[in-house]
Amino acid sequence: MRRRDLLTTAVGLTCFAVLDRSEAQPVRRKRLGYLSGGKQGLWSKYTIDILKASLRDLGWHENGTIEIDERWADGDASRLTDLARELVQLQPDVIAATGTSESKALQAATQDIPVVFLQVADPISSGLIASISRPGGNITGLMQGPQILWSKRLGLLTEMMGRPPRHLAWLGNPGNSGTASNWADAKDAVARVGADLIGIELSRAEDLQRAFNDIKGADGLFVQWDFLFSILSSQIAQLAAQQGVPAIYENRAQVLAGGLMSYGGDLRENFRQGAVYVDRVLKGARPADLPVIQASRFELVVNKGAATALGLTLPDSLLARADEVIE
């Protein structure tokens, strides 16, 4: 065989070997972690289902181009530390966290893996980020609003009742990392109108009846959005109705479960936009450079049946402004 033939054969074999090695190495599937304090399957159509659908629209198909590892605390904030560590040990490319407590648990578990939070009330005072425009570190995401809204909710409750409540109660979970800032805002709102406010703490489902015993005598009730409370939404609404106390909530899910009314950011939009941030991180963006998105769409949801049961007539002014009326 001539030297030219030998060279041609060698080059051909080399090209074949290179191509063969390339074909033997499939593209690595990306990995997303998801941490929620809630219960799997409860209210999913307003949260993780939206996140997954939005990711599909962006080309990320579960068990195809991306794996999603979910961890749920079932309303027990004490489980979040261990669940966050479990996710970090899986070394995902990015982790989506629902609220403040979940994000704080992840912050303690990793300073390297990108985290996108989806519904945090005040990420600066919570110590999650340095600033809204430049978060710094490995965490960014979406806020529930540009500010906490208990003053607005007090005004709406006053409008619903036809008079200002004078003795209010606040139902909050001390295990929720966002409770302190919400409680402070609620106290300030009530103090400005010269009313009284008592704080009722609830961190275990079995203490719900006791909590409502402490609420007796209140003529208005604030209920925090918390994943324990999301699991107990129907029971909370029933007990409020039994005691005849008008209550206002942060999230639409609590009204769909029988509560009187809610006002807050449309968190469905947070999960849609959260998918965009997850997509950007998966494509190389750094959380430190992604500004925190503040909720810009707020919704008022009222429950006509709950109002009737309390002997209240929905004012035309509220009906006209309501984004949704539950019959």
Q: In what order do the strands lie in the sheet with 94-97?
A: 66-72, 30-36, 94-97, 115-120, 139-143
Please give the pLDDT value at position 111: 97
Domains of the chain: 30-146+266-297 (3.40.50.2300), 150-265+299-326 (3.40.50.2300)
Write the DSSP assignment of 133-147 as a string of letters. Answer: S---TTEEEEES-SS
List beta partners, residue 115: 95, 139
Please give the pLDDT value at position 27: 60
- pLDDT, tens only, 204-263: 999 999 999 999 999 999 999 999 999 999 999 999 999 999 999 999 999 999 999 999
Beta strands in the chain, from DSSP E residues, in sequence order: 30-36, 66-72, 94-97, 115-120, 139-143, 167-172, 196-201, 220-223, 247-249, 261-265, 298-303, 324-326
Using DSSP, state whether 320 is helix, strand or coil.
helix
Q: How far apart are the first and last CA of the chain?
A: 90
Please give the pLDDT value at position 148: 86
Please give the pLDDT value at position 145: 76
Mean per-residue pLDDT of the chain: 91
Please give the pLDDT value at position 7: 39
Q: Is 163 exposed, middle or buried (0-12, 13-18, 19+ CB in 10 A)?
A: exposed
Q: Cα–Cα distance between 274 and 320 in angstroms, integer? A: 31
Task: Name the stretches of the chain with pLDDT < 50.
Answer: 1-25
What is the model's pTM?
A: 0.85
